[in-house]
Amino acid sequence: MNRVALIGNPNTGKTTLFNRLCGVRAKTSNFPGTTTSMRVGHHTRVDGRGWEVVDLPGVYGLSFDGPESRIVRHVLHGEDGQTKPDALVVIVDATNMSRNLILVGELLRSGTPLVVALNMTDLAARRGLSLNAAVLAARIGAEVVPIVASKGTGVAALSDAVDRLSSTQPAPAITPPPSNPDAMGEWADVVLEAAGGSLKESASDPLTERLDRFLTHPVFGTLVFLAVMGGLFWTLFALANYPMDLIEATFAYLGKLATTYLPNGPIAELLSNGIIGGIAGTIVFLPQICLLFFLISLLEDTGYLARAAFVNDRFFRRFGLPGHAFVPLLTSHACALPGIMSTRLIPSRRDRIVTILVAPFISCSARLPVYVLLTGLLFADRPWLAGPAFASCYLLGAGAAFTSAWLFGRTVFRGTPRSMVLELPTYKRPSIRTALLTAKDQGLAFLQTAGTVIVAICIVMWWLSAYPKTGPVPQAEALRSHGLVQEADAVQAQAQQANSVIGRVGRTVEPVFRPLGYDWQLSVGLMTSFLAREVFVSTMTVLAGGAGDPSQDPGVRQRIRTMTRDDGRLVFTPATCASALVFFVLAMQCLPTLAVTRREAGGVKYALLQLTYMSSVAWISAFVVFQGLRLAGVS
């Protein structure tokens, strides 16, 4: 036996079992021609033998129309470049046997040898549900092994049962599944009753029903959702700051080593500012992404995430989005890249494309430094207004996402979102092991998808800002002669930025942004922020002749606040600050996101549509804000 496929309904513990069988010896890949991922690992038995394990997407039936069902059919029949498995492990939920047995009946008729893994038997026992596994096995003609995948109970016995498939023939089924799919539901009930189960008992659990009435209530369910999301994001930003600060400090130290021990010149600058800086710009967000997926995996494992999606489905559908878009938009608060990647299992392609296009409107963590800087400049003398303005940025981004989805649904992507058919899973204790492995997989996927792109962009942007070289600036030399080395370096860097390729590009595109209140310096900040939005802060710091972090150094903030244009006017007037804040909330300023959009949506035309649409919305909105404030007498 070489290849075993795990298959089952959604939320039956299939991936938890996969992690028990394979652990970290797994990789994630895409099915050919789709964006739906599968996990492939290797299970090694105590005797040294083993087999390749494929974790297939969860499905309710083989005949359903959807990417998951099509993929499972291709794998079972060895079609579309897939290798046909030698055996199947069908995971069923012991607390919901009637529904799960329908899929078992379909798979029995496929002819592939299989073993049934009767999972969550501990939950079934606590509810007073009993099932005779031996009778069930005799009825269906396949071995049935009770397990608790989250605890590892019965996994060794399941491995033995799979191994026996290659040497024994299954006994004939006492109750063979019917050839007519419509009769499969009745067959499942007959088998379940013969094995000692009860459809009525499986469907009723007083505690579950009480919790569901509360968590899916239009009012109370929404309040719980807001509280859970508030706690999630508080945890995310509170805990992720420590490893993010450590990463920044580590790469700053590496950059310093490069400039200290390498001779001055382009190689040292490329290594320090281009390569090391580019890698740091990628990895610094890894703790947030891993922690977010760890927390989401815990919520999903408990069964709550399905309830949250159900509560949000009615609201989402009003704007042309399916309830399935809940998780991608939630994830986009950390970074749009994993948010877009998590749209893979939205059943409808139309719904998936619309979700991908609007996900970058959600304010991600990369925008936070820009929001802090601009709100601080806008309300320098009224700090009590900076907080509400900061929160308004999140509301504006979310409003733009939902409004755009509504607009797309009535223009280029006409149609209504597919109704969300969802079977609420049972409540259970989450698996820390599964959550950790999920965080690891998503973190690696983020690095593989975006890391190389970001590093390449950093190198290109470094070259554009580093050449042509500017000779010594008299003002900088004068400061240096008085021992003011840091100030002299800042002035020299400012001159270098102004005369570099990117500086000249900024002067070239200045007329495009002048109606928004931006001069060439702000235009340069916008151009470099396509590398990563947070680069805007460091760019303006350099152009202001400062050094350090403006959020921590009042002197740097004051230099940025007092920056002047060529004609002597302030760069950051109140109207300009408000305009720039709106622009950064709405603009597509992330080339890696465009690269992921092209791959996940299936064409460069979608990335171009996303760039054009979001840039237009940002420009028009910023124009309205700037010109409106000017007409109101706010300069």
State the Cα–Cα distance between residues 572 and 587, nearest whole angstrom. 19
Beta strand 37-44 with 50-55 is: antiparallel
Residue 3, SS3 per DSSP: strand
State the Cα–Cα distance between residues 180 and 102, nearest whole angstrom. 12
Beta bridge partners of residue 43, listed in sequence order? 51
- C-alpha closest to that of 324 among 299, 352, 360, 298: 352
**For the chain, how far is it from start to end, CA to CA, in angstroms?**
75
Tokens of 57: 């997407």
Domains and CATH numbers, the chain: 3-204 (3.40.50.300)
- C-alpha closest to that of 522 among 608, 436, 584, 435: 584
Beta bridge partners of residue 5, listed in sequence order? 54, 88
CB 276 within 8 A of CB 251: yes
Extract the residue ranges of the chain whose pLDDT is less than 50: 28-35, 199-203, 546-547
Q: Which helix (H) or strand (E) holds 501?
A: helix 501-513
Burial of 248 (0-12, 13-18, 19+ CB in 10 A): middle
User: In this predicted structure, what is the pLDDT of residue 367?
Assistant: 84
User: In this predicted structure, what is the pLDDT of residue 552?
Assistant: 55
**DSSP secondary structure, 283-341, as one string:** HTTHHHHHHHHHHHHHHHHHTHHHHHHHHHHHHHHHTT--GGGHHHHHHTTT-HHHHHH
State the Cα–Cα distance between residues 236 and 286, nearest whole angstrom. 12
CB 500 within 8 A of CB 466: yes
User: In this predicted structure, what is the pLDDT of residue 35?
Assistant: 42
DSSP-derived secondary structure letter, 424: P
CB 344 within 8 A of CB 325: no
State the Cα–Cα distance between residues 264 and 550, nearest whole angstrom. 28
pTM of the model: 0.67
State the Cα–Cα distance between residues 189 and 98, nearest whole angstrom. 6
State the Cα–Cα distance between residues 485 and 474, nearest whole angstrom. 14
Long-range CB contacts for residues 30-38, cutoff 8 Å, separation at least 24: 31/71, 31/74, 31/82, 32/80, 32/81, 32/82, 33/80, 34/67, 34/71, 35/344, 35/599, 35/600, 35/602, 36/67, 36/68, 36/71, 36/344, 36/345, 37/344, 38/71
CB 254 within 8 A of CB 302: no
Residue with tokens 């069902």: 69
Give the distance from CA 423 to its chain's centroid. 23
**DSSP secondary structure, 610-621, as one string:** HHHHHHHHHHHH
Give the distance between the most distant pair of CA atoms in the chain: 96
User: In this predicted structure, what is the pLDDT of residue 584?
Assistant: 93
Listed in sequence order, the DSSP H helices in 205-303 are 206-215, 220-261, 266-269, 277-283, 286-302
Radius of gyration, alpha carbons of the chain: 29
